[in-house]
Amino acid sequence: MAQQTITALYDDYDDASAAVAKIEALGVPHSDISIVGSNEGDRHAGRITAPNAVGDRTDTTDSAATGAGTGATVGTVLGGAAGLLTGLGLLAIPGVGPVVAAGWLVATLTGAGIGAAAGGLAGGLTGAGLSETDAHTYSEGVRRGGTLVTVRADETRAVSVMDILEEHGSIDLDERAEGWRAEGWTAPQAAAAPNPSAIATPSDGRTRVRSYPSTPV
């Protein structure tokens, strides 16, 4: 059955995390959900605890990517519902800055060590099947303080996932990008002609979520 990669951007991390919890309750596996939120100004400092001892540490990439880690080399965000958010790790992404992140997208953002997000967030998103234009726009949204949720879902769950993402306050990406451009923001030029398979598919007139054919990560 064909899978889709569904994306939504939030102004508020708590709204995004609530959507993630509800999507998990729907039965979507942790391995198919990802969250990346800005940690600008160390805004999540009150939720992060450093590990108590070296022996308690687990690799940031593995912990965040599985969403099941009990620790992270930098720290782990506390207070989330049992599930993906318990493995939220602290990362640094070039061009975006410090973020808290968990889920399948983390594996594409990190390399051999902490903060080795060589391709940046936009690179990870294009690798997951998004167009370069949308990937750079989502990356800019996180850089400006937002939180991105990405979900891989089959046709039987896609509509329910999109409903949940919208219910929790996802933003209209085109509208927001238009505002940024009015302020002088210019998205990087695409390195190549758009890949037809990376174009967002129609989502029944929805403007606050996007869906793309899934690409193996």
Residues 64, 43: contact at Cβ < 8 Å? Answer: no
Closest listed residue to residue 140, CA positions, set 190, 185, 189: 185
pLDDT value of residue 216? 62
Helix (H) / strand (E) containing 213: strand 210-213
Average pLDDT over every residue of 34-60: 64
pTM greater than 0.85 (yes/no)? no
Sheet holding 147-154, edge to edge: 48-49, 76-77, 89-93, 97-103, 33-38, 147-154, 3-10, 210-213
3-state secondary structure of 139: helix
Q: How far apart are CA 170 and CA 159, in angstroms?
A: 15
- Chain mean position to CA 175: 20
Q: HSE (CB half, 13 Å, CA atoms) of 215? A: 17
Please tell me which residue, 189 or 143, carries the higher pLDDT value: 143
Indicate the SS3 state at residue 146.
coil
Residue 15 has pLDDT above 90, yes or no: yes
Q: What is the pLDDT of residue 80?
A: 40
Comparison of pLDDT for 205 and 195, the residue scoring more = 205
